[in-house]
Amino acid sequence: MALPAAPTKGADEDPPPEPLPPAELDEGWRDEGHEYLGRRVARTFEGGLTVVGRITRWLPAGDGEDEPPLFHMNHDDGDEEDLAEYEVIDAFELYKTTPEATKLAQAKARAEARAAKEEEKAVKAEARAAKASERAAAATTAEAKAAAEVEARAARLEVKACRAAALAARADTSGAEAAVAEAREEAMAAKAAFSKVAAKAKAMAASAREAKAKAAEEAKKKREAERGPRGAKTAAQFYTEAERLKLTATHPGLDAPAIAEMIKAQWKVLEEADKAPY
């Protein structure tokens, strides 16, 4: 086998291997049916040259002891070779030390961190949805109930969006491009739906607060109308206000009811001339 001129970095998302030519099929080589197929490997050659590639085919063991299974490695630089199983296992371990494997591991770690963050957001959104549903059940007005129901729906959509985003983040490291695209599309659709419903929920909540404030103001006006206009203060009330401050200062140990009794007693014995200023 000719050695490659320079080391290659390789690519984890290579296209699938081409179908086996008839000659190799006749020899018993297979492109399915073994866990090693499709996995990335690395080999070191003379001079410390490391070449990265992929296991694309395998040949089951023969009947004799000297016929172990073989595995075909396609190098990223276009070369190829057949490996014994122990060589494949060594190639797996060597691949873990390559820049490509390190980069993929780092990308996977970042993707998992993004996915974990989205999952955390989903859990919080689920809690908000539950609370909003409780508020909807306990609402006393149609406006408040509708606002809470829309808020709950918005939170549930956010849960869906976060879970889809987490799936998309994890799919980024799987090599399944169709799954990535589908997960991202679902995440975008869910987030768009959430934004729309969340805006509606916010508007309805504001409307419910406004309606509640308006109802409270109307109830206050009704109570005031039923009570009628307040009458003018009496002389006794003016006297009480004036004396309360004095007695509170001179008798700090007395409580309000005791002060009131003292003022009441004083007013009863007060001469009419002394009451006149009040």
Interstrand relation of 49-59 and 70-75 (parallel, antiparallel or unpaired): antiparallel
Measured CA to CA, the distance from residue 118 to residue 163 in angstroms comes to: 7
Q: What is the pTM of this model?
A: 0.44
Residues 201 and 168 in one domain: yes
Residue 105 lies in a domain: no
Q: Please tell me what DSSP assigns to residue 62.
A: -
Residue 103 lies in a domain: no
Q: Please tell me what DSSP assigns to residue 30.
A: B
Residues 204 and 250 in one domain: no
Residue 84 lies in a domain: yes
Supply the pLDDT for residue 11. Answer: 43
Supply the pLDDT for residue 89. Answer: 96
Residues 172 and 145 in one domain: yes
**Which residues, in sequence order, are CB contacts of 132 under 8 Å at separation 6+?**
148, 149, 151, 152, 155
Supply the pLDDT for residue 49. Answer: 87
Residues 136 and 171 in one domain: yes
Supply the pLDDT for residue 176. Answer: 47
Query: In this structure, what token pair is assigned to residue 206?
Result: 């504001």
Is 74 in a helix, a strand, or coil? strand
How many independent structural domains does the chain possess? Answer: 3
pLDDT along the chain (278 residues), means of 10: 39 51 67 94 89 94 87 93 95 92 85 89 90 86 82 85 83 56 66 74 80 83 73 80 83 83 86 81
Residues 163 and 241 in one domain: no
Supply the pLDDT for residue 228. Answer: 63
Residue 140 lies in a domain: yes
Measured CA to CA, the distance from residue 124 to residue 132 in angstroms comes to: 12
Which of 190, 209, 226 lies at the terminal end of a domain, its last residue?
226
Residues 174 and 198 in one domain: yes
Task: Tell me the residue range of the domain where 199 lies.
Answer: 131-226
Interstrand relation of 40-45 and 70-75 (parallel, antiparallel or unpaired): unpaired
Residues 157 and 216 in one domain: yes
